[in-house]
A and B are shown apart, each in its own frame.
Chain A
């Protein structure tokens, strides 16, 4: 019979449990220091602010688990957002059409990534840096960097489901979709297998081309969602608005315990990673700390977090190396 102490110890060693603990401590500290922190208004605004990031993180998480990396998702979001906006401004439409269009464009651009990575056998980071540069620069070149302001009224109007703001609804949907893909479908297992050992995955009969298309296509698809939500929130389409977020999103997903080597990562961890960064920045703002310090704090959190994780893993390895030959 396992004793309860060791169960608790084992739980504490789990990454997302540790993260949740840190988040609780931070929330506690901030709520004692600032009364507005735990107010419903603040929390909803917080969630809404980080919903776009959460949506994009879903796609990146899936790609990371498969052993790849996608740097181009923000550029994909910008392109599909812009194309969709042009169509709904010219032809009108509704939310369903907008979603289908934006997700479709994102999916196609993601497929381009997948095909290049698969057929050129190139590193995903190099390919997606190239396509990011290409997609985004072409967007700026073709549009001359002009923003679109005359979005239809139905698009910019406030929207909510059971009182929950639209961005949060979409983010929740994307997260649930990712949970479904990763842990409820057989395909999810294949994605983990691909990340753990591609050669083995191939030999047990996984369709690698199909899996590549799935993960990069999925990343593009949710990037399409993210683009729409962003446009809805700020009520305009600015080509460069989403660019530069790639590494922030990567930081959040990695904080959430996904490995760059593939094969590991969970949706819950990713959520915790984002919430951690969100609470940290929000708390600092409420405490009146200059917003100029966010970068420094975020950077230190990343550095400390990855270092501590690595140190713990090293000690663990040393302890378990005892019985290894």
Chain B
């Protein structure tokens, strides 16, 4: 099975893993190719690690733990530590009051301060993405208020949202985040095309090159020597950096990150979160949507749990365990 869970939801993954167990019991051997540590740790008995085309050996899973496996895959040692308490008391950058959309989410209250990373966790179908899309002007709410930087805003299209300095990194990088066959450069400037024009409405080439140079090469250090190559030739982690570059070029103050590390291998994940931290330190308010408990636990200052369209609890990452969060999400 080659990456059989790539486009499955959690429930579907669980069902698939159960099926594989059943097949194993019947004496059918399975080769399970994946980059998802959890799944491998759950399903496999032995694991063979490949890195850059080299075989790094085969191990018994019971003799490994997640961290060791991650080290083998990436060649780096990972330290995970909780974020320090968020103590800045400035006014919220993004405030949501009583936001409701029939059948999707109801009475959502949340606020994100400048420099704060707020984790939003919930199962697929809990209304996370719908809420994010509403905050990005692509899914108009039925009622409620959205305030950006102390002013109430009406977001009718995502151009409105971009104008109010909100950016949205989609969970689906391959079909919504980037235009894969087109160049890295065009993907990086597509969100700011109208800001690059000179007289006669023509694109000012120096302005364009500078934008690309700044965001792709200097700020996000995308691994490429030529920005005029198709973005699909980059690895998952570098593609996600291009997505971030595209949004940073719009000079956002609120960044909605919807499952930003889906399909990114474990080494690149750390890199992405380094970028996210740096952005928060610059005063961008970040809403981090995810369905990986570990991710929100270690990457955010505050955790909101969403279940069936409502926010059911707010947690401090330093005072909550994974188990408590899991119970809140799946209750």
B is a partner of A: yes
Residues of A within 8 A of B (CB): 322-323, 325
- Nearest Cβ distance between residue B167 and chain A, in whole angstroms? 21
Instruction: Determine whether B103 belongs to the interface, using a CB cutoff of 8 Å to chain A.
Output: yes
A264 to B90, CA, bound (A): 57
Whether B103 contacts A325 by the Cβ 8 Å rule is no
- Nearest Cβ distance between residue A12 and chain B, in whole angstroms? 24
* Chain B residues touching A, range: 10 to 19
Whether B103 contacts A322 by the Cβ 8 Å rule is yes
When each residue 115-129 of chain B gets 1 if its CB lies under 8 Å from chain A and 0 otherwise, what string results?
Answer: 000000000111111
Chain B contacts of A322 at CB under 8 A?
Answer: 102-104
Q: List 7 A-B contacts (CB under 8 A).
A: A322-B103, A323-B103, A323-B125, A325-B124, A325-B125, A325-B126, A325-B128
Instruction: Determine whether B251 belongs to the interface, using a CB cutoff of 8 Å to chain A.
Output: no
Instruction: Determine whether B277 belongs to the interface, using a CB cutoff of 8 Å to chain A.
Output: no
Instruction: Determine whether B265 belongs to the interface, using a CB cutoff of 8 Å to chain A.
Output: no
Give the 7 A-B residue pairs with the shortest CB-CB distance, closest first: A322-B103, A325-B125, A325-B124, A325-B129, A322-B104, A323-B103, A325-B130
Chain B contacts of A325 at CB under 8 A?
Answer: 124-130
Interface residues in B94-151 by Cβ distance below 8 A to A read 102-104, 124-130
A35 to B103, CA, bound (A): 54
- Nearest Cβ distance between residue B156 and chain A, in whole angstroms? 16
Chain B contacts of A323 at CB under 8 A?
Answer: 103, 125
A322 to B130, CA, bound (A): 9
Q: From A323, which residue of chain B is reached at the shortest CB distance?
A: B103
Q: From B126, which residue of chain A is reached at the shortest CB distance?
A: A325
A135 to B126, CA, bound (A): 57
When each residue 237-281 of chain B gets 1 if its CB lies under 8 Å from chain A and 0 otherwise, what string results?
Answer: 000000000000000000000000000000000000000000000
- Nearest Cβ distance between residue B97 and chain A, in whole angstroms? 23
Chain A contacts of B127 at CB under 8 A?
Answer: 325
Q: From B104, which residue of chain A is reached at the shortest CB distance?
A: A322
Q: From B102, which residue of chain A is reached at the shortest CB distance?
A: A322
Q: From B125, which residue of chain A is reached at the shortest CB distance?
A: A325
Q: From B171, which residue of chain A is reached at the shortest CB distance?
A: A325
A325 to B124, CA, bound (A): 6
A322 to B127, CA, bound (A): 10
Chain A contacts of B103 at CB under 8 A?
Answer: 322-323
A322 to B308, CA, bound (A): 12
Q: From A319, which residue of chain B is reached at the shortest CB distance?
A: B103
- Nearest Cβ distance between residue B209 and chain A, in whole angstroms? 35
Q: From A322, which residue of chain B is reached at the shortest CB distance?
A: B103
A322 to B142, CA, bound (A): 13
Chain A contacts of B124 at CB under 8 A?
Answer: 325
Chain A contacts of B102 at CB under 8 A?
Answer: 322
Q: From B103, which residue of chain A is reached at the shortest CB distance?
A: A322
Chain A contacts of B126 at CB under 8 A?
Answer: 325
Q: From B139, which residue of chain A is reached at the shortest CB distance?
A: A321
Q: A325-B126, A325-B129, A325-B130 are in contact. List 4 more A-B contacts (CB 8 A).
A: A323-B103, A325-B124, A325-B125, A325-B128
Chain A contacts of B104 at CB under 8 A?
Answer: 322
A323 to B101, CA, bound (A): 12
- Nearest Cβ distance between residue A22 and chain B, in whole angstroms? 33
Q: From B124, which residue of chain A is reached at the shortest CB distance?
A: A325
A323 to B127, CA, bound (A): 9
A323 to B129, CA, bound (A): 12
A324 to B102, CA, bound (A): 13
- Nearest Cβ distance between residue B298 and chain A, in whole angstroms? 24
A322 to B103, CA, bound (A): 6
- Nearest Cβ distance between residue B42 and chain A, in whole angstroms? 23
- Nearest Cβ distance between residue B105 and chain A, in whole angstroms? 11
A215 to B222, CA, bound (A): 46
- Nearest Cβ distance between residue B101 and chain A, in whole angstroms? 9
- Nearest Cβ distance between residue A216 and chain B, in whole angstroms? 28
- Nearest Cβ distance between residue A199 and chain B, in whole angstroms? 13
- Give the residue among B104, B127, B129 with the most A Cβ atoms within 10 A: B104
A322 to B101, CA, bound (A): 9
- Nearest Cβ distance between residue B239 and chain A, in whole angstroms? 22
Q: From B127, which residue of chain A is reached at the shortest CB distance?
A: A325
- Nearest Cβ distance between residue A165 and chain B, in whole angstroms? 52
Q: From B128, which residue of chain A is reached at the shortest CB distance?
A: A325
A325 to B104, CA, bound (A): 9
- Nearest Cβ distance between residue B153 and chain A, in whole angstroms? 23
- Give the residue among B124, B128, B130 with the most A Cβ atoms within 10 A: B130
Chain A contacts of B128 at CB under 8 A?
Answer: 325
A322 to B104, CA, bound (A): 6
A322 to B102, CA, bound (A): 8
